[in-house]
Every structure is written in C-alpha cells, then in structure tokens.
Structure 1
Amino acid sequence: MNFDLLLILDLLGVFFFAVSGCLLATRKGFDLVGSLLLGSMVGLGGGVIRDIVLNAGPPAAFTNQIYLLPPAAAAALVYFTVKNVQRSGRLLFMFDAGGLALFCVTGTLKALEAGMNPVASILLGVTTAVGGGILRDVTANDVPKVFDPKDLYAIPAFIGAGLATGLWHLGWLTFTTGAMATVVVFALRMLSLRYGWHAPLAARSWTPRRGQRG
C-alpha cells in the first residue's frame, strides 16, 4: 500500500471523525467555531499522537495543510445539512465507527512502515483510533466511549489493527484487503451498538446499578 493511498485513507479518517465531533457539538449546543474546533480535535488528535510517538518530525497535521480541509468540510456539512439535532445520534455513531475503522488500519500501517514491531504497531494503531475520540468526549464533558462499560470501542480497533498487521506481514495487503479490514471493524462497531455487546467488567462479581456508568 503506497504512501498516497495511506494519505487518502488518513484524510478520510480525519473527515469521518471530524463529522462525529461536529455532530456532538450540535447536540451540546456549541456554536460554529466550537463545532470546527471539536471536529478538528477528534479528527486530528489521534494522528498527532501517532506521529509524535513515531518521532518522524512535526505531526503531519501541522506540516501538510491538506489535513485542515476535512475538519472544515465536516463543520460546513453539519452546519448546512443537520435539521434535527436530537435525531443525529445515529449519524454520530456511524461516522465515529467509520473514523475508528480507518484510523486503526492507517495508524498500524504507518507504524509498520516506520519499522516498529507487530505488537507495538497494533498498540499504536489502536491509540490512533481511540485517541481523538477520548479528546472529543472529555472536552464535551462526556464519558469517553472507550471507558463505557456498555460499549465496545477498543476491541474492534484491536481486531482491525491485528488484521492490518497480519496482512502486511503476509504480503497480502492491497487496497481491497485493507478495505475489507476497515469494513470488519465498522461492522463490529455497529453490531455492538445494535445488540448491546460489551466487554466483561473489571470485576466479575460486580454488577453496575441501574443507570450507573463506569
């Protein structure tokens, strides 16, 4: 998978995550500037963390101006198209799942191409995928989805990062197989929301009270 294709997938991930941030901004009653900032934070945050860890110079978000376009496009799209804020929750989940799927694959592949070992590459891919979402939710005063006991967030990202690593080492990584890995992550994320799948709690004997979030 060449660099140009990775760049395209990376920009798509930025856009999907940025839309999720802008949608959350509308639900929180933020203004247009707040929407743009929150979208930029979630769209670029994971990639900035990834590039800092890779120690490959200044993060791409600050050296390549094209990375500024997806958050701006996302803010404009939400501003002109969202009519019913209360019904935008499903769209938020869908775009968030799309960003998660793309970033766990691109983050892993960038780590592998930088010479990191498979385990470190998987961990960095997951960090890239969940990092922006954590910044978004904390800023909007929500419980980050990765820490929500009623949700599956990091596990689909781990699966996608593992698939990308396996495909890369086997020499089977192409646009088609990479796209299939992202589809698997997206499908798992959406199915977990549909059927209420979640990981086991930290203590097996503990049961959360009704309505309690951890």
Structure 2
Amino acid sequence: MLVQTVLTVLDWCGIVVFAISGALVASRKQMDVVGFVLLGTATGIGGGTVRDVLLGQLPVFWVRAPGSLVTCVAVSCLVFATAHIPQSRYRVLLWADAVGLALFAVSGAATALEVGAGAVVAVAMGVVTATFGGVIRDVLGGESPVVLSREIYVTAALLGAAAFVLALQAGAPRELAAGLGFTAAMLLRGAALRRAWSLPRYRPRPGRTPDEVRRLGEPPDDGRDRNRT
C-alpha cells in the first residue's frame, strides 16, 4: 500500500511540475490562456500518454482517470496569473523541467514494471515518460527540442530509470529504489545545468580524395616487383 502511494505521489508531482514547465514556455512566448493550457497539458501528460500507447495500456491513464487532465488545466491557469513573479522564467523553466524529468524517469519505469515489462523495457519507458512531454512542449512552443541539443537530458533520465530498476533487482525496497532513481537523475541533470556539461558532438571530417581512394585499392609496393626487372 505504501509503495503504491509513493509511486502515485511521484506521478502526480511529475504531472504538476511538467505542467508548470509547459506553461512557463507559453509565458516566454506571451501566449493567451488557451496557449498556457495547451502547452501545460501537453507537457504534463504527453510522456505518459506515449508510454501507455507503447505498452498497450488503452485507454491511456488520463482517459481512465481525468483528474490528471483537470490538474494540468488548473496548474496552467495558475501559472498564467503568476508567471510574472519569477525574475528569470527560463531558469525556473530549466529547473522545473529537471525535477519533472527525474520524477517521471522513476514513475515511468515503475508503471512499465507493474504491467509486466522486463527491466530493459522498463528503463526505456522511464526515458520515454520523462522526455517526450518536453519534446511536445518544445515543438508546440517553437523551441529547439532540448533532447536534440548538447545538454545532458536523456542521459539523466536514463540514469534515473536504470538506477531505480537496478536497485529493485538488487532487492532494495521500492521506496528506497525510487529515491535513488530520482536522486541520480536530478543530480546529473542539475550538475549539467550548473556546470554546462554536455556530451561530445559529432564533428565531420573531410572525405578522401579520388587519388587516396585509388591508392587504397592498389596492392602494397614492397619493392619485389622492381627487383625482378
């Protein structure tokens, strides 16, 4: 009973925090209240919706229990009235997103395990739940999706989901495993935000010239042919 309560709290906290991050994007774009509700709701329930569809859990969670949908709408309207308070909306957005990422990485993996998914699939569903809401938010808000940037984002979700699943497999209580997963994801994402960590980016290299390609196709010249002449 306590385990289910902890997971439910994590899920609801993730929905609220991601709804806030979506509404903050709307505030940066100076949208009306409908735009706030659209971005806040899409961000709050988007990742979980994709997760449920992939796992075959239909109808999806917010259709079965519309409370999460109503919560996203209410939170978005509240942010519409109070978004002027933070001095730096973008900084608040990044940290709200980091908290939501860590929460959903754990709750997404836990949901997958509850429906019988294996460890690998559970970790993948944790990443999907944690990141796809942000992708939808950024696309609707006209932003470059953060998952496609150099920032450590998906990696943090992967670490959190993997830490949660591995802790469970090691025999840790569900509450402790959830705490470890959340902490791992939050610490990595928070450190990346503070220290501007990023993954190495692919750097294109010039291709070979036609002469170099032809030389690579020729047999090595060891001098034996010259000795025969």
Q: Within 5 Å, which residues of 2 pair with 1:28-177?
A: 28-83=29-84, 87-149=88-150, 151-177=151-177
In the aligned structure 2, how far is the partner of 1:203 from the partner of 1:48?
Answer: 35
Q: Which moved more, 1:82-91 or 1:42-51?
A: 82-91
In the aligned structure 2, how far is the partner of 1:73 from the partner of 1:38?
Answer: 12
| TM-score after normalising by structure 1 | 0.89
**In the TM superposition, what whole-angstrom CA distance separates every residue of 1:27-58 from its partner, at most 9, and x where no partner exists?**
00111111011000011000001111111220
Shift in CA distance, 117/174, structure 1 to aligned 2, threshold 3 Å: closer
Long gaps (5+) in structure 2 = 207-229
In the aligned structure 2, how far is the partner of 1:139 from the partner of 1:173?
Answer: 39
In the aligned structure 2, how far is the partner of 1:146 from the partner of 1:32?
Answer: 27
What SS class does the counterpart of residue 2 from structure 1 fall into?
helix
In the aligned structure 2, how far is the partner of 1:115 from the partner of 1:129?
Answer: 20
Long gaps (5+) in structure 1 = 207-214
**In the TM superposition, what whole-angstrom CA distance separates every residue of 1:106-143 from its partner, at most 9, and x where no partner exists?**
11111122221211111111011101100110111111
| TM-score after normalising by structure 2 | 0.83
Q: Which residue identity lines up with residue 120 of structure 2 in the other structure?
A: V
Alpha carbon RMSD of aligned pairs, Å? 1.9
The match for 2:216 is: none
**In the TM superposition, what whole-angstrom CA distance separates every residue of 1:147-190 from its partner, at most 9, and x where no partner exists?**
012x1100000100100111221221332441232122112112
Q: Which residue identity lines up with residue 22 of structure 1 in the other structure?
A: A
Does the Cα contact within 8 Å between 1:164 and 1:173 map onto a contact in 2?
Answer: no
Which of these two proteins has the greater Rg computed from alpha carbons? Answer: 2
Percent pairwise identity: 34
Shift of 1:3: 3.1
The match for 2:219 is: none
